[in-house]
Amino acid sequence: MSFIDWLVLIGTLSFIVIYGMYRSRGKQNIEDYLIANQSLPWYHVCFSVMATQASAITFLSAPGQGFADGMRFVQFYFGLPLAMVVLSITFVPIFHRLKVFTAYEFLETRFDGRVRIFTVILFLLSRGLSTGLSIYAPSIILATILGWDLTWTNILMGTVVLVYTVSGGTKAISHTHLQQMIIVTVAMFVAGYMVVHLLPAEVGFVDALKIAGKAGRINTIDFHFDPNSRYNLWSGLIGGFFLQLSYFGTDQSQVGRYLTGQSIGQSRLGLMMNGLLKIPMQFLILLVGILVFVYYQYNPAPLFFNQVEIDKLKSSQYAADYESLETKHQRLVSNQREAVDNLAQALEKDQSSEVERWQNTINEADKAKKELKSEAVALIKKNNPTADTSDVNYVFLRFVLDRLPIGLIGLLIAVIFSASMGSIAAAYNSLASTTVIDIYKRFYRKEGSENHFLNASRLATIGWGIFCVIVAQYASKLGSMIEAVNILGSLFYGVILGIFLVAFYFKKLGGRATFWGAVLAEIAVVLCWWFDLTAFLWLNVIGCLLVIGFAWGYQQIMGKENKVG
């Protein structure tokens, strides 16, 4: 990166951090620190919720998914608006009325301490692990740019976020989220414009979409119901609905965001606006990915986008084998370039037989390129068995570094960093608030001064920061990170959601039935995943329904408890 890029990167990130700390200055108590004293307007809630969900993973993996797999990933978010509606009707009024710090406090009011602590453990486990992945995502950028060791980049990334999270708490997080989302939106529009600008003069935006469409990349909707297909309309609407409802309704990193709303109405409007904006935002990020795909139809693309692994391979005994693969790849690329030119002409002249002919040529070349990539991956694996063999996360990054002008590179890298900082900060805050409110205050120190619990929250934040950095060390073995995070969430979220749905809608089911129902459901979900019985999105539905079913069955067999909600 040039000096100007470094200046833009450091300037943008410093502005965000300093602004957040400045807006959260002054004396704090535990309410300020954990839920911003419930004082924030709807747009803070909306952008904070969006920034928490949209991590660096969103801006690294999603364009890469668009490039490699087309736009079908957008269907994953179809359940989100429906989940926002259910949350606004049920969860938000209850959490606000009970004036809780964490969602799990409600479970003890409704059931007992056992259900609360079981849910807290599931949450801490899933959120702690997935936050490790969120740290790893921007760390690979530093590793690629600077050639640093991943251990040090993980430590650096995890620590920078700790500084303003520990000092400013929820208010600092919320103010930084607002700045982050503005910068992210502007930068992604500029990136999209730049990709189109870098295409040959005769290829406009619509032409690029036509080429992407003929190459099978505009696969936005799939109506086929297939429980083993990862992304289709039904898994998005049904599985996605359960996942998003569970994520936003029971994951403290999100609950903690809308608990900061100054009223029920402000929290609700924030969630409704998230329901309106999230799908278009995700669509645009994937669109940038398919525009990058079109760009590489006209320009030489690397055989494998992770330059660090390629450099290692080139200095190994397999260098000659890789050179040979690269030569074959370049031949394919130039043939494909010719086919793309012919396809563009045929599309312009509306010659359907010619369009079909060149479309087939492009698709065949695409297939051959994928086979070459598999061979390259095999070489990488032979050379370094611990290597990251998925390059989906590197596609957009490689494009930014190789093709965008000075200044814009710094801005785009700042976007990836600031998005990551936003989600990591919210996660640290939620892990700390759950540890202090649901474990420390509940089981160890029921009484104490404001200052004592404030310091305990700060210490818990630091402790979780260290844990997440350790997890980040092991994250490179998980393929596409955005999928890894969602799979991890799906293992736990369905069961947690089931517990909350029993709490809200099944008033006759008691704590003991719910507890054993949840334990059995979690075992069943892990078995479904272990034996690969279904696509991961359905695990949310299965987990949720099994909790309800098992709890109901348990109560039928064992009889009603004395204490019900």
Partner 1 sequence: MEQNSPENSRDGLPPFIKNWPQMYAVVIGTLFVLIVLFYLMMRYFS
> Where do contacts with partner 1 occur on this chain (CB under 8 A)?
42, 71, 74, 78, 81-82, 84-85, 88-89, 92-93, 209-210, 212-214, 216, 218-221, 233, 263-269, 272, 275-276, 279-280, 283
Nearest CB to partner 1, comparing residues 84 and 133 = 84
Nearest CB to partner 1, comparing residues 95 and 500 = 95
Nearest CB to partner 1, comparing residues 35 and 269 = 269
Minimum CB distance to partner 1, residue 511 (Å): 27
Nearest to 422 by CA among 42, 208, 138, 10: 138
Residue type, 165: T
Question: 437 with 259: CB under 8 angstroms?
Answer: no
Nearest CB to partner 1, comparing residues 86 and 377 = 86
Q: What share of the chain is helix, strand, coil (3-state, %, to 5)?
A: 80, 0, 20
Minimum CB distance to partner 1, residue 258 (Å): 12
Tokens of 485: 């995070």
Minimum CB distance to partner 1, residue 351 (Å): 17
Minimum CB distance to partner 1, residue 45 (Å): 10
Q: Please, is 181 exposed, middle or buried when counting C-beta atoms within 10 Å of its C-beta (0-12, 13-18, 19+)?
A: buried
Minimum CB distance to partner 1, residue 93 (Å): 5
Minimum CB distance to partner 1, residue 269 (Å): 4
Question: 308 with 147: CB under 8 angstroms?
Answer: yes
3-state SS class at 4: helix
Question: 561 with 112: CB under 8 angstroms?
Answer: no
Nearest CB to partner 1, comparing residues 4 and 94 = 94
Minimum CB distance to partner 1, residue 277 (Å): 10
Nearest CB to partner 1, comparing residues 212 and 436 = 212
Q: Cα-flanking dihedrals φ and ψ of residue 423, to 5°?
A: -75, -35
Nearest CB to partner 1, comparing residues 92 and 424 = 92
Nearest CB to partner 1, comparing residues 239 and 510 = 239
Nearest CB to partner 1, comparing residues 186 and 276 = 276
Minimum CB distance to partner 1, residue 241 (Å): 11
Nearest CB to partner 1, comparing residues 75 and 389 = 75
Conformational region of residue 509, where left means phi above 0, alpha means psi within -120 to 50, and beta covers everything else: beta
How far apart (Å, rounded) are the C-alpha atoms in residues 245 and 242? 5
Q: Which helix (H) or strand (E) holds 557?
A: helix 537-558
Query: Could you give the maximum distance between any two Cα atoms of the chain, in Å?
Result: 79
Minimum CB distance to partner 1, residue 276 (Å): 6
Question: 332 with 373: CB under 8 angstroms?
Answer: no
Nearest CB to partner 1, comparing residues 153 and 267 = 267
How far apart (Å, rounded) are the C-alpha atoms in residues 196 and 207? 10
Minimum CB distance to partner 1, residue 279 (Å): 6
Minimum CB distance to partner 1, residue 250 (Å): 20
Question: 450 with 27: CB under 8 angstroms?
Answer: no
CA trace torsion 57, 286, 306, 157 (10° rounding):
-20
Measure CA 343 to chain center: 36
Nearest to 167 by CA among 428, 534, 397, 444: 428
**Helices (H), ranges, 203-263:** 205-214, 233-234, 240-250, 252-258
